[in-house]
Structure 1
Amino acid sequence: MSEISKDKASRLLKKRGSVSSVSSPDIKMKEIRSRAKDSVSTVSYVDEPTHHDDASRPAVHMENTYQLGPDRCFPVDAVNHILKDVLTNYLQEEKYEPELCRQMTKTIAEVVKARVKDLMIPRYKLVVIIHIGQLNNQSLHIGSRCLWDDANDTFASFVFRNTSLFALATVYAVYLE
């Protein structure tokens, strides 16, 4: 088998994310013939090192922090200000269009998450949910349920309205022990 075919086969395996291991490291390609139709299937294996050199890599020892609560509380007021600022800047002049609003929810969620992460509050997992809908004299109830610790976990929420759409942004902050 040529070098180009081997490189192509190994790239295809890497793109798909499948890795197979064999007992003998010197087996690189193996052909299997089917008895029924005399077809040829090629199975390729990724080269694996025969031994792991543990001495070259120092072991990392992690210590427990025994920290059961946050050093400081999650700043709900600062996050509410971020939500208000982002929703107002992105949606102030927008008209409701389903495809545009679908893309805007993704964009706004990423911007909000990045700005909240810039506050550098350690050990909090963030979940950002954005709802955008058409404002058409209808009623809508959005509810959420979470299983969390009342002492450390919290959320921030903001509702935005203009003449044609509404938006609800919620950031859940869950403390990671």
Structure 2
Amino acid sequence: MSDLAKEKARLLKKRGSLSSLGSHEVRAIGKTKDSISTLSYMEEHGHHDDIQRPTVQMENTYRITPSRRFPVLTVKDLLKDVLTSYLQEEKYETELCRQMTKTITEVVKARVKDLMIPRYKIIVVISIGQIKDQNIRMGSRCLWDDNHDNFSSHIFKNNSLFAAATVFGVYFE
């Protein structure tokens, strides 16, 4: 084994992978190319590799109606609470509102999922805009089952901005 290979092996054992080496360490072992391939190692095999788990066979429920309806009023109160807490004191700024839209969407989706409504797909749409002398009209389309699917929405306004939030609950058979 050459000295260069021994040095690489020693550094890999010390650090875990060649890509984690600093540029001065790579030059020190004689490799000056721009591209470095990553080589990782694992000293011990995990015990979880030896255990084979049985596959779980799920049975069809043949349920075509929901056991629990989409809670429109609960979700509306949730939307009102989240929008008010996040946007009450905010002023409209383009970059801030772009990030706030993503954050509020994730928070609303997580809180609706915490309600554990079985077999409903949750879709959250939030728009934040600046209040000036303009109007806005928003709409949405999708395949809809009037008997099972539902939605909840809330509009928030302060002196500087508005937010329109809608949560769709679409029953998944």
TM-score (norm 1): 0.69
**2:132 pairs with 1:155:** no
**2:79 pairs with 1:83:** yes
What is the match of residue 88 of structure 2? 92
What is the match of residue 74 of structure 1? 70
What is the match of residue 141 of structure 2? 145
| CA deviation profile, 1:137-177 (whole Å, cap 9, x unmatched) | 20111111011222111111111111111100010111111
What is the match of residue 120 of structure 1? 116
1:109 aligns with one of 102, 105, 117: 105
Distance 1:174 1:109 in 2: 17
Which residues of structure 2 form unaligned runs of 5+?
A: 19-36, 40-50
Distance 1:57 1:117 in 2: 29
Aligned residues between the structures? 143
What SS does the corresponding residue of 2:70 show, helix, strand or coil?
Answer: coil
Answer yes or no: is the 8 Å Cα contact 2:82–2:104 preserved in 1: yes
More strand by share: 1
**2:62 pairs with 1:62:** no
Report the CA distance between 1:57 and its aligned residue: 3.3
Please list every run of at least 4 consecutive aligned residues from structure 1 whose deviation after the TM superposition is greater than 4 angstroms.
Answer: 1-4
What percentage of aligned pairs have identical amino acids?
A: 63
Distance 1:136 1:142 in 2: 17
| CA deviation profile, 1:18-58 (whole Å, cap 9, x unmatched) | xxxxxxxxxxxxxxxxxxxxxxxx9x9xxxxxxxxxx9432
1:131 aligns with one of 120, 123, 127: 127
| CA deviation profile, 1:80-111 (whole Å, cap 9, x unmatched) | 00111111111111110001101110111111
Distance 1:56 1:109 in 2: 39
Distance 1:96 1:112 in 2: 20
Which residues of structure 1 form unaligned runs of 5+?
A: 10-41, 45-54
After superposition, the CA RMSD in angstroms is: 2.9
Answer yes or no: is the 8 Å Cα contact 2:68–2:118 preserved in 1: no
